[in-house]
């Protein structure tokens, strides 16, 4: 096997780079942060808004997920497997694409306002707190549903059999079997979603804004881009860091145990809920959830198709940038993940998740500025941050399999005296082909769809595709924006599909 000292050396180098690239920017932020007096009332408002919208988003996501997960756990219908797979899709769906889809449904000229107008009823605006929460629920309802569905499917079938033979009423059944599970899983699921929403940037950028709907992440961006007040940006970054760490630790403690949810296609046979009303209610919940998740995507496709023809040179250049950045950050992420695919390596990877992209970006901005124009480094910095952010997910996918390969073949390789290079080339990489493909697909899709650091760094000449969509929206070129969004959607799902497929093809046992 890769002779041990060499493997350990590679792991240490990788870990050192990750830690330096995360802690360096954090140190820069801490060093640059101004006194608390630098914060204006708007900044405190941003802090309050961040907490409030996260709380609302987490509550609604989990509350709505309960009936949906329950329905999915106990009903069998055609397309059930597909629907459950689709619940994983928002993870790689570019935020800006979802936002455009939501605007197409809930916006001023969207489906719902259009219908209201036709009926002579007053319309509503999608911008502000409710828009931000709506988008967060769109992203996190599927996640909550998957986590709860896992909980439901983990209740042993024998318990349901026992309950039915005891003749428990539906109420008693809920209280003895399902409520305890919900009390165990739901707080953890809520905490995870709360943490995710705390560092919401792209959604707040597009649907929030203004003094009353600004998150801390958005305030950082505004302090850098509009006020060029780096001291205040650093201070806000510190607040964001504290928030994320505190909430992250709580979420870690509560834990949900859920990974990527293997085996969700199982169905628990139950004897309750066979009456007419529960059946209808389950069908309604599943139908509403599917409608809520699929209509915006359908609208992106419908509105994007005519827009594809209007894509200008700027959009194609941005598309090219996005693909290069995604390719580079995928390679970087995997180069990090391979040597770190061990228990302690996974902890190192989590560090990258604890620090939000905008905080990382601000820190890097501060570090780079004395030496170079940060704006000219927009793409390399985006590549780096994207790789760091995807690293924990790549490690979660790779670690179990990498450990299995080592457990199974390290002795044989040692007995043969395989050189380190031969071990990596002939054993490790081929054996890890499937999880590598999956991890690469996830990283590439996340990177292609990312709208975060790039907004902080980009000048008018440089853009990635998500930023280009945002700019087109900002200049009210909605047709072109829809076309670029469709292209973005195709890229991110296509990249995921290609990599994942590549890992599976001819991957024999």
Provide the b/e sequence for 291-327 (b: ≥16 CB within 10 Å).
ebbebbbebbeebbeebbeebeebbebbbebbbebbb
Q: State in angstroms the smallest separation of the CB of 414 from other proteins.
A: 5
Q: Of 411 and 501, which has the nearer Cβ to other proteins?
A: 411
Q: Of 74 and 406, which has the nearer Cβ to other proteins?
A: 406
Q: State in angstroms the smallest separation of the CB of 417 from other proteins.
A: 3
Q: Of 211 and 430, which has the nearer Cβ to other proteins?
A: 430
Q: Of 91 and 409, which has the nearer Cβ to other proteins?
A: 409
Q: Of 403 and 459, which has the nearer Cβ to other proteins?
A: 403
Q: State in angstroms the smallest separation of the CB of 352 from other proteins.
A: 31
Alpha-carbon distance of 379 to 299, in angstroms, equals 30
Q: Of 13 and 421, which has the nearer Cβ to other proteins?
A: 421
Q: Which residue has the tokens 């608390």?
A: 36
Q: How many CB atoms lie within 10 A of CB 466?
A: 26
Exposed, middle or buried: residue 442 (CB in 10 Å: 0-12, 13-18, 19+)?
buried
Q: Which helix (H) or strand (E) element contains residue 442?
A: helix 433-449
Q: State in angstroms the smallest separation of the CB of 77 from other proteins.
A: 37
CA atoms within 13 A on the CB side of 349: 28
The token pair at 65 is 């997920």
What are the distances in angstroms from CA 113 to CA 132, 265, 294? Answer: 18, 37, 18
Alpha-carbon distance of 216 to 238, in angstroms, equals 10
Alpha-carbon distance of 437 to 499, in angstroms, equals 5
Q: State in angstroms the smallest separation of the CB of 408 from other proteins.
A: 5
Alpha-carbon distance of 353 to 244, in angstroms, equals 9
Q: State in angstroms the smallest separation of the CB of 275 from other proteins.
A: 51
The token pair at 295 is 């209509």
Q: Please, where are the H alpha helices in 154-174?
A: 157-166, 170-173
Q: Of 406 and 462, which has the nearer Cβ to other proteins?
A: 406
Q: Which residue has the tokens 């005891």?
A: 166
Q: At what angle do helices 230-254 and 4-32 cross, to 10 degrees?
A: 130
Q: Of 262 and 509, which has the nearer Cβ to other proteins?
A: 509
Query: Are 498 and 354 within 8 A, CB to CB?
Result: no
Q: State in angstroms the smallest separation of the CB of 404 from other proteins.
A: 11
Q: State in angstroms the smallest separation of the CB of 401 from other proteins.
A: 13
- The single-letter DSSP state of residue 428 is I
Q: State in angstroms the smallest separation of the CB of 503 from other proteins.
A: 13
The token pair at 287 is 């139908």
Q: Of 305 and 416, which has the nearer Cβ to other proteins?
A: 416
Q: Of 80 and 434, which has the nearer Cβ to other proteins?
A: 434
Task: Look at residues 140, 132, 134 and name the one whose alpha carbon lies nearest to residue 207.
Answer: 132
Q: State in angstroms the smallest separation of the CB of 421 from other proteins.
A: 7
Alpha-carbon distance of 220 to 233, in angstroms, equals 5
* Chain contacts with other proteins (rule: CB under 8 A): 3, 408-409, 411-412, 414-419, 421-422, 425-427, 430-431, 508-509
């Amino acid at each position: 096997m890769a002779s041990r000292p060499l493997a350990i050396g590679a792991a240490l180098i990788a870990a050192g780079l990750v830690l330096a690239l995360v802690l360096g920017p954090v140190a820069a932020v801490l060093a640059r942060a101004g006194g608390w007096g630098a914060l204006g009332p708007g900044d405190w408002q941003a802090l309050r808004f961040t907490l409030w919208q996260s709380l609302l988003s987490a509550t609604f996501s989990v509350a709505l997920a309960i009936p949906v997960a329950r329905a999915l756990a106990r009903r069998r219908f055609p397309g059930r497997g597909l629907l459950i797979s689709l619940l994983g899709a928002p993870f790689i769906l570019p935020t800006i694409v979802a936002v455009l889809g939501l605007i197409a449904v809930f916006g001023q000229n969207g489906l719902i306002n259009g219908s209201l107008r036709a009926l002579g009823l007053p319309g509503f605006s999608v911008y502000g707190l409710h828009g931000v929460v709506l988008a967060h629920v769109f992203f996190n309802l599927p996640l909550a549903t998957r986590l709860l569905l896992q909980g439901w499917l983990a209740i042993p079938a024998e318990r349901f059999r026992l309950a039915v033979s005891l003749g428990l009423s539906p109420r008693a059944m809920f209280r003895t079997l399902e409520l305890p599970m919900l009390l165990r899983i739901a707080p953890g699921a809520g905490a995870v979603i709360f943490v995710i929403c705390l560092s919401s940037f792209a959604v707040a950028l597009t649907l929030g804004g203004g003094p009353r709907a600004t998150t801390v992440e958005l305030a950082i961006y505004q302090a850098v881009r509009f006020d060029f007040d780096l001291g205040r940006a650093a201070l806000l970054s510190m607040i964001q860091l504290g928030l994320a760490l505190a909430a992250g630790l709580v979420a870690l403690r509560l834990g949900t145990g859920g990974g990527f949810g293997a085996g969700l296609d199982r169905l628990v046979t139950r004897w309750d809920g066979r009456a007419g009303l529960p059946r209808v209610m389950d069908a309604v919940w599943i139908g509403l959830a599917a409608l809520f998740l699929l209509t915006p995507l359908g609208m992106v496709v419908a509105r994007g198709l005519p827009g594809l023809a209007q894509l200008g040179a700027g959009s194609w250049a941005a598309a090219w940038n996005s693909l290069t950045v995604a390719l580079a950050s995928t390679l970087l992420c995997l180069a990090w993940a391979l040597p770190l695919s061990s228990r302690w390596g996974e902890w190192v990877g989590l560090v990258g998740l604890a620090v939000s992209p905008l905080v990382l970006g601000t820190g890097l901005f501060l570090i780079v500025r004395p030496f170079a124009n940060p704006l000219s480094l927009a793409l390399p910095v985006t590549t780096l941050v994207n790789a760091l952010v995807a690293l924990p997910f790549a490690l979660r996918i790779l670690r179990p399999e990498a450990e299995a390969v080592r457990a199974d073949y390290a002795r044989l390789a040692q007995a043969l005296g395989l050189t380190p290079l031969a071990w990596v080339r002939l054993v490790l990489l081929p054996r890890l082909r499937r999880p590598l493909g999956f991890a690469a697909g996830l990283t590439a899709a996340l990177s292609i769809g990312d709208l975060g650091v790039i907004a902080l760094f980009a000048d008018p000449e440089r853009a990635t595709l998500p930023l280009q969509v945002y700019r087109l929206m900002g200049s009210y070129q909605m047709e072109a924006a829809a076309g670029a969004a469709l292209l973005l959607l195709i890229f991110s799902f296509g990249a995921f599909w290609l990599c994942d497929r590549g890992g599976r093809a001819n991957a024999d046992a």
